[in-house]
Amino acid sequence: MDRTEAAAPPPLRVGLIGYGLAGSVFHAPLITATEGLTLDTVVTAAPERRAKAHSALGGDMRTLATTDELFARADALDLVVVATPNRTHVPLARRALEAGLPVVVDKPLAGTSSEAQQLTAYAAERGLLLSAFHNRRWDNDFRTVRSLVADGALGDVHRFESRYERWRPQLKGGWRESGDPADVGGLLYDLGSHLVDQALTLFGPVRSVYAETDVRRAGAEADDDAFIALTHTGGVRSHLWMSAVAAQLGPRFRVLGSEAAYVKDGLDPQEAALREGARPVPGERWGVEPEIAWGTLGDLDARRPVPTLDGDYPAYYAGIVTALREGTPPPVTAHEAVATIRILEAATASAREHRVMTTDLS
């Protein structure tokens, strides 16, 4: 036997709480595709979802109906992933930390920055990893934008435009469309979590926030159409749109700089692939986009297509493995997740009070 293989540590055992959209489409497939992780347990109260999990994941993976059953065997686990409705993120994450287990929480980490900060402090006190699943840092188009900005291909960036728009004129129901504040529903905290995290990742802290939120669809309770304008401390302005009522979609990204602009349409293909049952395979390309979908870089006189970098959702859980084994920071830190929620809170207040918020948003 190869000595390297003999020395390889056993895989980290993961308990996944929740097997709805987030758990079944994103977390379970990515966990099972990650070297160094094994999906030990899935918790979901719905019998049909437990059956679905068994059918999709098979093997020795167990399913449980309650979190009590999961935490009763906490010693058999190395990591808990919380992929449940937003209102349960904090209590379940805290319970995992109390059990001595590192935690990954689907975004947003919490409903308020105060709750998120308290959870972050508790994880630090226990010396345990706490990370939020802001997977869209690894979208193919965002990776391309990040590379172009880092390489100076646009010159000095002065405006970053980012849209996550859908055409869903009919309500689907469920907690994401609930008007109960405890459910943390609405697009601002759903799609807005991704857009704000991406803007902060690119351009850093923010000194002011202006936002508009609306409830457009008949019978809707939560915001389904929103806009956020951020002014970063470095001077860049980020304009972010999220909507469920966009009958025609704007460009996913339009980034304006002193030397050139980059414009990109369409959505990263990874979610669609995961929904259709495709799975990342180590050593094989993933998140690949055809040339016809590439964005363009240039100005009014000359522009050229820019090959879109491959999407890389698998990088998130690979980073979690490294963090747990080597003690390095996770791919998304809890402090970064708190910063995003602070911006979303400021946006909520701005839309409600019809004014620009300039409080400490670092």
Radius of gyration for the chain, computed over Cα atoms and rounded to the nearest angstrom: 21
The CA distance from 167 to 361, in Å, is 32
pLDDT of 38 strictly over 90: yes
253-275 pLDDT tens trace:
999 999 999 999 999 999 999 99
- Give the pLDDT of residue 172: 87
Residue ranges covered by each domain of the chain:
3-135+317-330, 140-311+342-353
Question: Across the beta sheet with 79-82, what order do the strands follow?
Answer: 62-64, 37-43, 12-17, 79-82, 103-106, 130-133
Per DSSP, helices labelled H in the chain are 3-7, 21, 28-32, 47-57, 67-72, 89-98, 113-126, 140-151, 187-203, 270-275, 314-326, 334-353
Q: Return the CATH number of the domain spanning residue range 3-135+317-330.
A: 3.40.50.720
User: What pTM does this model have?
Assistant: 0.94
Q: What is the pLDDT of residues 95-140, one digit of tens each?
A: 999 999 999 999 999 999 999 999 999 999 999 999 999 999 999 9
pLDDT digits 0-9 by tens, 314-325: 999 999 999 999
Could you give the CA distance from residue 178 to residue 95 in angstroms, rounded to a whole number? 25
Question: For residue 146, what pLDDT band results from cuts at 50, 70 and 90?
Answer: very high
Count Cβ atoms below 10 Å from residue 134 Cβ, excluding itself.
24
Report CA 164 to chain centroid distance, whole Å: 13
Q: Phi and psi of 14, rounded to 5°?
A: -110, 135
pLDDT band at 359; cut points 50, 70, 90: low
pLDDT at 186 over 60: yes
Confidence check: pLDDT of 192 > 60: yes
Residue 86: the pLDDT is: 94
Give the Å distances, CA to CA, from 277 to 55, 216, 283. 12, 33, 18
When pLDDT is cut at 50, 70 and 90, the band that residue 6 belongs to is low
Within this chain, domains 3-135+317-330 and 140-311+342-353 share the same CATH topology? no
Q: Residue 155: which pLDDT band, with cuts at 50, 70 and 90?
A: very high
d(CA 324, CA 326): 6
191: confidence class by pLDDT, cuts 50, 70, 90: very high
Average pLDDT, the chain: 95
- Tokens standing for 56? 């999709």
| Segment 262-266 long-range contacts (CB within 8 Å, at least 24 positions apart) | 262/144, 262/145, 262/148, 262/153, 262/154, 262/295, 262/296, 262/297, 262/306, 263/295, 263/296, 264/141, 264/144, 264/145, 264/294, 264/295, 264/296, 264/308, 265/293, 265/295, 266/141, 266/293
Side chain identity at residue 32, one-letter code: T
Confidence at 2, pLDDT banded by 50, 70, 90: low
* Domain over 140-311+342-353 is classified CATH 3.30.360.10: yes
Question: Is the confidence at residue 4, as pLDDT, over 70?
Answer: no
